[in-house]
Chain A
Amino acid sequence: MSELINSSLRQLSAALAAKKVSAVELATLFLDRIDKFNPALNAFITLDRDKTLAQAQAADEKLRVGAGDTAISPLTGIPLGHKDIFCTKGWRTSCGSQMLANFVSPYDANVVEKLAGAGMVTLGKLNMDEFAMGSSNETSYFGPVKNPWDVSRVPGGSSGGSAAAIAARLTPAATGTDTGGSIRQPAALCGLTGLKPTYGVVSRYGMIAFASSLDQGGPMAKSAEDCALLLNAMAGFDPRDSTSLERPAEDYGRDLEKPLAGLKIGLPKEFFGAGMDDDVRAAVDAALAEYRKLGATTVEVQLPNSGLSVPAYYVIAPAEASSNLSRFDGVRYGYRAPEYDDLTEMYSRSRAQGFGAEVKRRILIGTYVLSHGYYDAYYLQAQKIRRLIAADFVEAFKECDVIMGPTSPSVAFAFGAKSADPVQMYLSDIYTISTNLAGLPGMSLPCGFGANNMPVGLQIIGNWFGEAKMLNVAHQYQKATDWHTRMPEGVK
């Protein structure tokens, strides 16, 4: 049975359908691995074995009585973990913060509801950078997540718990969110496949907001095929999210098997300049060579404003965050300072004590850029840059079907290596941020190993609503390579 930890979701689904394994057995398999490996990794921060097993039993019941029924989905009985940014009814939902360390959500996020509706079993809640602000998982109130490939290194962030848990085979799949690279960068640093959909494809209802105009939930798993199955269940219009898009349902896996002959891959010269480590460059170049073997051609494209993406992002995201996080005031739920003399003090102490340093830094930046007299110079300028960046992509996609490049400029770095220098940390997302600013879909998939035998991620950027195309491009590569099947030694 232990070979199931490396199985694809489709294989798990087949095993469940054939009664080779029950949902309870499958959940138990992963819960036992969590017991064994999680203390060293700190990926899961909330577990509830009874709840998990009850869900698994319900899934088994569905599988037993409803075979051939529409109540059964290809995901019924398959366990997964939720990033702790998703509100999960009856489970603590902390967003990695002391501010919400006592918050048990009374409702399910749309994504949680949909995956539960598809019959998936919740293993627990996954660690993350506090309020998704970070690229290394070092800002979590619950302590950093360790990278299963080398526990002295970061797993990436902010969906670091999700990435580490999948890499360590503590769960076959997980949810993540991506505001500036928070699905793709940890996927790259942990050797996984992760997908950030086009803005509006996945409902943000119940996903604790960081930067509303950039946040997007998405799947993280071992392969593109798994991500397609998960995205099928996660995506869709939600009337409770005004930015959710009303589009016909689609099967994101419909093009997985399409051959790549004739595929045009755009390579932005801005993504291949200085700043990328040599080991990353070598792995990405090798992946591109593989694509050419599969029949694709590469063409240089230009994204002339991409250099402005990090500064624009660090105006827009903190601006929205400063306002989104105002609701955490100690009045109705969450952390309240134990002592205060008046209202102002209750606010200032609750927020000073309840938020960590990085969150406070971003609230300060955001408050500043929205202030009277600075709004035009910062926020409005950044919004203009955002439109320029989107326009660059429109031009680029006239010449190619997908865009490729590195996901992260380096492999996973050591704890503390960048945490003293916020700007260095922010540059970890230099290749991923522009897709969020443009609302485009992006993926990361493993394409080899770099220095110290750490995974390297290849980024694919699709055109708006080009998820099926991206998944096709990723899947064909994964059929030709086995990087995505590799597993860290320490968790075997």
Chain B
Amino acid sequence: MSRTTQWEVVIGLETHAQLQTKSKIFSGSSIAFGAEPNVQASAVDIALPGVLPVLNREAVVCAIKFGLAVGAKITPRSVFARKNYFYPDLPKGYQISQFEIPVVLGGGLAIRVGAGETATEKFVNLTRAHLEEDAGKSLHEDFHGRTGIDLNRAGTPLLEIVTEPEMRSSAEAVAYAKALHALVQWIGICDGNMQEGSFRCDANVSVRRPGEPLGTRREIKNLNSFRFMQQAIDFEVQWQINEIEEGRAIQQATVLFDPDTGETRSMRTKEDAHDYRYFPDPDLLPLEIRADWIAEVKSGLPELPQAMKARFETDYGLSSYDAETLTTTRAASKFFEDTVAATGKDSAKLCANWVTGELAAHLNKTDMPIEASPVSAAQIAGIIRRIADNTISNKIARDVFEALWAGDGTDADAVIEANGWKQITDTDAIEALVDEVLAANQKSVEEYRAGKEKAFNALVGQAMKATRGKANPQQVTDLLKKKLGG
């Protein structure tokens, strides 16, 4: 038994998802990424004297969408509070956030941990999700020892999503983060771009012996990739176990993960924790969300991945794995359903194989999103139709796909026609061919008769080669067997 099995790991995640609104949460400035410093900072964003915040209702719609998607309670009356602290990129000297009464309470996410046979299902409960504004950025380079301030990001709307401390391994944490990442993009509230900071996680990690009360937690800040999350949590867990086993108590702290060393290091301890002096922001009225608003948002919400996955399994007879893969993103599910719509439901499994197989492989190789696929759903459907009616073999189908991927030809039929790839199904023609192959390969025939199964495959290969792949492989096999056996 390894040492870690005597310890239970407890993880809770806090995720900041940047909301895809046109403008900031309390001002009319754009939130587009990558603009010149401070050009997207209005009087409100730089906190000139006398300016006031006005809530962007679009951000509230995002929060409602999220609440509905995770089966949470949408709070009918939530309150914006001020979180007071001084920092140069926090222009007002306080952040407007929700504290006592958040807009979303409860809910949860079903996750799948691991892959294949050993995969397990788990439900992660959410504590809450609340709206808040982002701060600006402090720029420490290029200012010769001084600090530059860019307030473009100040006031960008965020939804902070907080889980219960229910995850028990880094794998579970990553599975949750991935599921959440997929969901927020699915419902169109966040672009999920982790490099640009649109989706960032903090992990609260503690360890305990099973059955004991929760251990002291340390919070790993700003994890901006799933790989780093896994590494950081694994390192942190081992570090905490070592500390305790060597007789040292864990101090509550905020830590940073260094991807270069793979280690976490303490940034500040509880002693230097701020007293944020939260109080309701008197500049903003409580946020009232009535049932009709929720109903309106609900009517515009897309089918959620869980429901779609179940439908794919029952309606199309897909495996759980395929259904899961095809509902990873809305674009993938749409591509699949567009393909099925063009081929008919009977070919649904074939469609799934092509989208998750040949197409996915090509997309992965070129690191291309499915929305940008050079081969369209209609084109793949064209290939599948020709496989189904025996016009082409699977092997030729892959060649057709390659041709379409390379932009040679408008659709499968045109490619097949241009290359003369139509499958030979005429039995007489194939029989003549088989006779030729047998005559030309006496050595293989003898070897086969001497009991070498391999030699048979060589004969099939020769026959296929002679037809440049156009013969129906099954027919060739049957004929060869008949002739050799006879």
Contacts and interface: CB of A to CB of B under 8 A. Distances in A.
Interface in B278-302: 278-279, 282-285
A467 interface: no
Nearest to A205: B52
A379 B51 contact: no
Interface of A: 86-87, 93, 95, 100, 103, 105-107, 109, 204-209, 211-213, 239-243, 319-320, 322-323, 325-329, 331-333, 343, 347, 367, 370-372, 375, 379
28 contacts: A105-B48, A105-B50, A106-B43, A106-B48, A204-B52, A205-B50, A206-B50, A212-B282, A213-B282, A242-B283, A322-B277, A323-B82, A323-B94, A325-B93, A326-B84, A326-B93, A327-B91, A327-B92, A327-B93, A328-B49, A332-B46, A332-B149, A367-B277, A370-B279, A371-B275, A372-B277, A375-B278, A379-B279
B54 A370 contact: no
Find the residue from A213, A240, A326 having the highest chain B CB count within 10 A. Answer: A326
Given A242-B52, A331-B88, A343-B88, 11 more contacts: A87-B49, A106-B43, A206-B51, A242-B54, A243-B282, A323-B94, A323-B277, A326-B84, A327-B47, A327-B93, A370-B84
Contacts of A323: 82, 84, 93-94, 277, 279
Interface in B243-277: 275, 277
A1 B226 CA distance: 80
A105 B82 CA distance: 25
A44 B446 CA distance: 116
B53 interface: yes
Given A107-B48, A333-B48, A239 B84 contact: no
Interface string B150-174: 0000000000000000000000000
A343 B278 CA distance: 23
B7 interface: no
Interface string B37-58: 0000001001111111111000
Interface of B: 43, 46-55, 82, 84, 86, 88, 91-94, 149, 275, 277-279, 282-285
B135 to A, nearest CB: 13
B322 to A, nearest CB: 50
Contacts of B279: 319, 323, 370, 375, 379
B283 to A, nearest CB: 5
A470 to B, nearest CB: 25
Nearest to A203: B52
B50 A209 contact: yes
Contacts of B275: 371-372
Contacts of B149: 331-332
Contacts of A107: 43, 48
A379 B284 CA distance: 18
A184 B279 CA distance: 29
Contacts of A367: 277
A370 B82 CA distance: 11
A347 B91 contact: no
Contact residues of A: prevailing secondary structure: loop
A210 B49 CA distance: 11
B127 to A, nearest CB: 21
B172 to A, nearest CB: 33
B49 A103 contact: yes
A333 to B, nearest CB: 7
Contacts of A327: 47, 49, 91-93
Contacts of B283: 209, 212, 242-243
Contacts of B92: 326-327
A355 to B, nearest CB: 13
A375 B100 CA distance: 13
Contacts of B43: 106-107
A204 B93 CA distance: 20
Contact of B49 (A100, A239, A241, A243): A100
Nearest to B279: A370
A239 B53 CA distance: 10
Contacts of A320: 282
A91 to B, nearest CB: 13
B41 to A, nearest CB: 10
Contacts of B49: 87, 93, 95, 100, 103, 105, 208-209, 327-328
B93 A109 contact: no
Contacts of B46: 332
6 closest Cβ contacts across the A-B interface? Answer: A326-B93, A370-B277, A212-B282, A213-B282, A206-B50, A208-B49
Contacts of B278: 370, 375
Contacts of A87: 48-50
Contacts of B86: 326, 329, 347
Nearest to A379: B279
B133 to A, nearest CB: 14
A323 B86 CA distance: 10
Nearest to B84: A323
A350 to B, nearest CB: 11
Contacts of A319: 279
A370 B81 CA distance: 12
